[in-house]
Amino acid sequence: MRAKLVASYAYRNFRYSSNHPLRIPRVSLLLDFLKAMELVKDTEVDEGRNATQEELLEYHTEDYINALREADACGCVKPKYRELYNIGTYENPLSPATWRGSLLACGSSLKAAELFLEGHISFNPAGGMHHAYPSRANGFCFINDPAVTIQMLKKLGFKKILYIDLDAHHCDAVQDFYYHDDSVFVFSIHQSPEYAFPFTKGFLHERGASKGKGFNLNAPLPKGVTDTEFLKVLETGIEVIKEVFKPDVYLLQLGTDGLEEDYLSKWRLSNWGFLKAFKMVREAFGDGIYLGGGGYHPIALTRAWSLVWCEISGREVPTTLRREAREVLLSVGWEELDETDRSYMYETLLDKPREGHIRREILSICEA
């Protein structure tokens, strides 16, 4: 039983406040769906664990962590913390997800890494919160589980760690932390900061600095990216990495917000393209540590992460959905969902590729 899904129903109680894009069920929906499809056995699910204070402090500052814990205990955010740490804002609201959810999500990424080191292939869908800075919440992220996990791997003696980020938003905080570090290669494909969050980072010219020069790679892409373009850029990025870096281990952030159905990005990826991207990374670097990320259309996200799970666990992708699984999806009751437009989502798991020609601006990014 090599594949492990690090996932818990505890996330049902750890949702962001109303109106926020992360108020939707994600991990629990994925679990319910996989069970209804008979695609996961109980023995393949690991509940995860909370991160410890010591582990968090390898990346975050003590004052910031204490402020998160205090806000959770009191159910309130002091105005000075809102200002200083960016918590309790519209973007990063206070909810049970803020501290308890983040603590579990981060510990689960650490658990995924531990399971990987024991010989499993593990996926923590609650992970991938790549925007959290050492002492500042940012872009829905409070605790930066990718960085905390990379820090753990470094402490364990790993000398060459690769971080690949497929989320539609640039991994600004991860990039910053390892910008001067030649032992962590950070590669991100994302919507250009010229038009998308985080707006300030993720440009092509950001290639790392001092010792880390050449160990950071960004592919900022225009609106409307299709599978063809995304996969071409990924293929080129993999070639560039392979020329200069032989990773001992890699982490892959699998944000699904680049899918066409997702309303937080302007891309047009199909879940076929998403799966293909996942397979390309595995083909290039072998098994890795797999983390979730953004993804705001609950059904699109569930379908895409189910494909990843099928791939990891060596299962064939089913061609039709079981009635029970369709009911799980229909029960989401998500007001943004246009049920007539999206009816195909209730019938099949794997979409058709969304192909197109590769635009000149994308070719020039590949040549740069």
162 binds, among ligand V1S, Zn ion, none (CB under 5 to 8 A by kind): none
Structure tokens at 184: 């962590």
Residue with tokens 């039983």: 1
Options 60, 111, 136, 169; binder of Zn ion; rule CB under 5 A = 169
Structure tokens at 222: 């225009």
**Contact status: 120 vs ligand V1S (CB under 6 A):** no
Between 294 and 298, CB nearer to ligand V1S: 294
344 binds, among ligand V1S, Zn ion, none (CB under 5 to 8 A by kind): none
The total of other beta-carbon atoms located within 10 Å of residue 1's CB is 8
Which of 140, 131, 143 lies closest to 55 in space, CA to CA?
Answer: 143
Site for Zn ion in 205-244 (CB under 5 A): none
DSSP per-residue letters across 253-281: E---TTBTT-TT----B-HHHHHHHHHHH
Options 58, 70, 91, 176; binder of ligand V1S; rule CB under 6 A = 91
Between 208 and 258, CB nearer to ligand V1S: 258
Does residue 201 contact residue 193 with C-beta atoms inside 8 Å?
Answer: yes
Between 111 and 201, CB nearer to ligand V1S: 201
DSSP symbol at 37? T
Options 293, 302, 328, 349; binder of ligand V1S; rule CB under 6 A = 293
Distance CA 61, CA 136 (A): 9
197 binds, among Zn ion, ligand V1S, none (CB under 5 to 8 A by kind): ligand V1S
Between 170 and 354, CB nearer to ligand V1S: 170
Task: Provide the minimum distance between the beta carbon of 262 and Zn ion in the complex, in angstroms, as a whole number.
Answer: 9
The CA-to-CA distance between both ends of the chain, in Å, stands at: 43
Distance CA 355, CA 367 (A): 21
Distance CA 167, CA 305 (A): 13
**Contact status: 353 vs ligand V1S (CB under 6 A):** no
**Contact status: 127 vs ligand V1S (CB under 6 A):** no
Stretch that binds ligand V1S, among 138-146, 233-241, 271-279, 298-306 (CB under 6 A): 138-146
Structure tokens at 223: 């609106």
**Contact status: 344 vs ligand V1S (CB under 6 A):** no
**Contact status: 294 vs Zn ion (CB under 5 A):** yes
SS3 of 295, please?
coil
Residue with tokens 């891309």: 267
Laid out side by side, the sheet with 184-191 consists of: 45-46, 3-6, 121-124, 289-291, 249-253, 161-165, 184-191, 216-221
**Contact status: 19 vs ligand V1S (CB under 6 A):** yes
**Contact status: 20 vs ligand V1S (CB under 6 A):** yes
Task: Provide the minimum distance between the beta carbon of 95 and ligand V1S in the complex, in angstroms, as a whole number.
Answer: 12
Which of 142, 149, 139, 204 lies closest to 172 in space, CA to CA?
Answer: 139
Distance CA 228, CA 77 (A): 45
**Contact status: 264 vs ligand V1S (CB under 6 A):** yes
* Cross-strand partners of 167: none
Site for ligand V1S in 139-178 (CB under 6 A): 139-141, 167, 169
Task: Provide the minimum distance between the beta carbon of 215 and Zn ion in the complex, in angstroms, as a whole number.
Answer: 23
Task: Provide the minimum distance between the beta carbon of 174 and ligand V1S in the complex, in angstroms, as a whole number.
Answer: 11
Chain residues that interact with ligand V1S, rule: CB under 6 A: 19-21, 90-91, 129, 131, 139-141, 167, 169, 197, 255, 257, 264, 293-294
